[in-house]
Amino acid sequence: MLFQSLFIVAPFVASVLGCPQHTNNKRATEPGSNSTKSDWAYEASFNWGKLNPNYARCQMGTQQSPIALSLSNGLSLNHVPKFNFNGSIEGNFYNWGYGPAFTVAHDSDWTTHPSVTYDDTTVYMKGWHIHSPADHSVGGVRSKAELHMVMVDATGHEKAVMAVRLDPGNANNTFFEQLPKMINFNDMNTNVPATLDFEPALASVLFFNEFWTYQGSLTSPPCSEGIRWFMARQILFTGVEQMQAILGASTYSARAEQEVWQHRINQ
C-alpha cells in the first residue's frame, strides 16, 4: 500500500527530541505520544555544544557525524557486515517528529532482534528512521533522504548505524509498499502496529556488498561517539509518489557535515 497520507506533521515539530531513541518498543494497541522537548534545532547545528554542557561532544568531538564521503575514499574491505534479517519484523510505525520511523517490538532480549555481524561483533536492530535531506553527501551530492537502521549491543546500547540513501526512481519500491497508511490522527507520534519484511530494503542495496565505514557519532545531541557507521554505496530508489509521501511526512533533519578528523574511514 502506498502511504501518501502517511503522517500529520504538527507545526511544533522542531521542539521534539532529535534522532529517535526508539523507546516505544511495546507493541502498540492505542495511540501514544513519543515527543520530548528539545533546546536545539537541526538548522543551527554548528553551535550545539554552546547550548548545553551535556552537548560539549558536539563541539569538541573527534569523530562526529555525518561526514562527506566519496569514491576517492575507496570502498571498505574491512568490517564486512553479514545480515540475519530472516522473516517479518513486528513493531510500531510512527512519525518521530521529523519523518517516518519504525521501532522493533521488544520484551527483554535484544539478541532475538534482526542482527548484523561484522568482525567479531554482533549488533541488533532497535529501529529505523528517516532523515530528510540525507545526512551524508557522496561525491558532493546529497540524496533526498537517508534511512538509518539503529543497531545496539546485547545490553541495548547504540553501537552501529546502517545507512541507506533514498532517491526517487521510476518504479515503486517493494519495501515501502508494505508500509501502512497513517490514519488521520492529529498526534504526529501516534504508534501504528506494523509487521514488515526488511529484506526488500536490503536487497535494494545488495545487502551492503559495497560500502563505506567509519567511526562516528550520533547525529543529534548529545552527539555520543563510538558508533560504527556503514553507508551502502547503492541508493535505494523509491517511486515518485513514495518519495513525495516521505518528504510530505518529513521536515528538515540533516545535521551539517563535520570535518574529518579521527574517523578512520574504511579502516
- Rounded to the nearest 5 degrees, what angle is found at the Cα of 126, between the Cα atoms of 229 and 26? 165
Range of the domain at 228: 62-248
Please report, in tens digits, the pLDDT of each residue of the chain (267 residues total): 545 444 333 333 333 456 877 877 654 433 333 444 588 999 999 999 999 999 999 999 999 999 999 999 999 999 999 999 988 999 999 888 888 999 999 988 999 999 999 999 999 999 999 999 999 999 999 999 999 999 999 999 999 999 999 999 999 999 999 987 643 334 565 788 999 999 999 999 999 999 999 999 999 999 999 999 999 999 999 999 999 989 988 889 999 999 999 999 999
Instruction: Note whether residue 187 is domain-resident.
Output: yes
| Alpha-carbon radius of gyration of the chain | 17
Residue 35 lies in a domain: no
Closest CA to 51 of 227, 165, 220: 220
Looking at residue 151, its pLDDT comes to: 98
Tell me how many domains the chain contains: 1
The Cβ of residue 122 has, within 10 Å, a number of other Cβ atoms equal to: 16
* Residue 256 in domain: no
Tens-digit pLDDT profile for residues 74-90: 999 999 999 999 889 99
Rounded CA separation 91/109 (Å): 15
* Cβ neighbourhood burial of 259 (10 Å; 0-12, 13-18, 19+): exposed
6 within a domain of the structure (yes/no) = no
**pLDDT score of 30:** 37
- Whether residue 26 is contained in a domain is answered as no
Q: Are 222 and 72 in contact (CB under 8 A)?
A: no
Strands 236-238 and 158-168: parallel
Do the domain assignments include residue 235?
yes
The CATH number linked to 189 is: 3.10.200.10
DSSP-H helix ranges across 132-191: 174-177
For residue 193 the three cell numbers come to 502496529
Whether 135 maps to a domain, the answer reads yes
Tens digit of pLDDT for each residue in 172-220?
Answer: 999 999 987 643 334 565 788 999 999 999 999 999 999 999 999 999 9
49 burial via Cβ count (<10 Å: 0-12, 13-18, 19+): buried
236, amino acid identity: L
H helix intervals, the chain: 56-60, 174-177, 199-204, 240-248
Computed from CA positions of residues 116, 117, 118, 121, in that sequence, does the dihedral angle turn out positive or negative?
positive
